[in-house]
Amino acid sequence: MTDTITPQTAQRFYDWLGAKHDLGSRFERQAKDRGLELLDAGSAQQFLNVGVGTGKEQRTVQAALPPGGQSFGIDLSREMLDLTRQRVPETNLCQANAEQLPFANGRFDRLLCTYVLDLLGTAVLPQVLAEFHRVLQPGGKLVLVSLTEGTDAPSKLLIGLWKTAYKLHPLTCGGCRPLQLQTLVQQARFSILKREVVVQLGVPSEVILAER
Ligand SMILES: C[S@@+](CC[C@H](N)C(=O)[O-])C[C@H]1O[C@@H](n2cnc3c(N)ncnc32)[C@H](O)[C@@H]1O
């Protein structure tokens, strides 16, 4: 039993959504840019993006990597993986579930996950964060960007409406609901280095930088 959409529904929905997903950029761009800035791909050697989507962030990451650096991405949706492959042919991609990452312990020094945890079931979030902890090396950095609770009157109003729409039909909201991840990230044995809320066009996003 899940309190969100199932992985099967997410896969079908994002296969259908494909490139249309980029229309959401106008609400998410600033938070994603801040997350990328905090993660500093320019000094990464092994970079993993969980839930790569259409590949826009992966293109930025790949372009910033130093010589010898490698980028990897996973997603449940084949359509999303195809779109990322077209945008970033140099990146290493595979179809996988964030709940069970197909990588060895300590494989990465950076991990990015934007607008994915907010569509996963509450019960699986600790397992997913444990996977992020497992595949990062000691000192490795994690950035999470997710829809969150409002911080001012317009964003609180918008999130109130969002929750109502989500209750009626989660897919009208892309399957995403607001989260506050700080406690779960600490329980997963990460140290939080920064937490910010970025509001773009009334949509609040939590940006967390943490270290393993
Ligand atoms: C809202 S989109 C975000 C995509 C991208 N990270 C971005 O910020 O633009 C969510 C993505 O997560 C993928 N996804 C959903 N559930 C997943 C899971 N359990 N494991 C891996 N990917 C998942 C979807 O297929 C989709 O590409």
Q: In b/e form, how buried is each residue of 172-191, taking b as 16+ CB within 10 angstroms?
A: ebbbbbbbebeebbeebebe
CA of 118 to the centre of ligand 1 (A): 10
The finding on whether 27 has its CB within 6 A of some atom of ligand 1 is no
Give the pLDDT confidence score for residue 35 in this predicted structure.
98
pLDDT, residue 131, reads: 98
How confident is the model at residue 26, as a pLDDT? Answer: 87
pLDDT at 103: 98
Which regions of the chain are under pLDDT 70?
Answer: 1
pLDDT at residue 25, as a whole number: 80
For residue 4, give the nearest of 205, 131, 177 by alpha carbon.
Answer: 177
What domains, with CATH codes, occur in the chain?
Answer: 7-211 (3.40.50.150)
Would you state the pLDDT for residue 33? Answer: 97
Which pLDDT value is given to residue 1?
58
| Model pLDDT, residue 3 | 82
Nearest atom in ligand 1 to the alpha carbon of residue 22 is 9
Give pTM, 2 decimals.
0.96
Site to substitute for ligand 1 among 9, 14, 162, most atoms within 8 A of C-beta: 14
**In whole angstroms, what is the distance from residue 79 CA to residue 82 CA?**
5
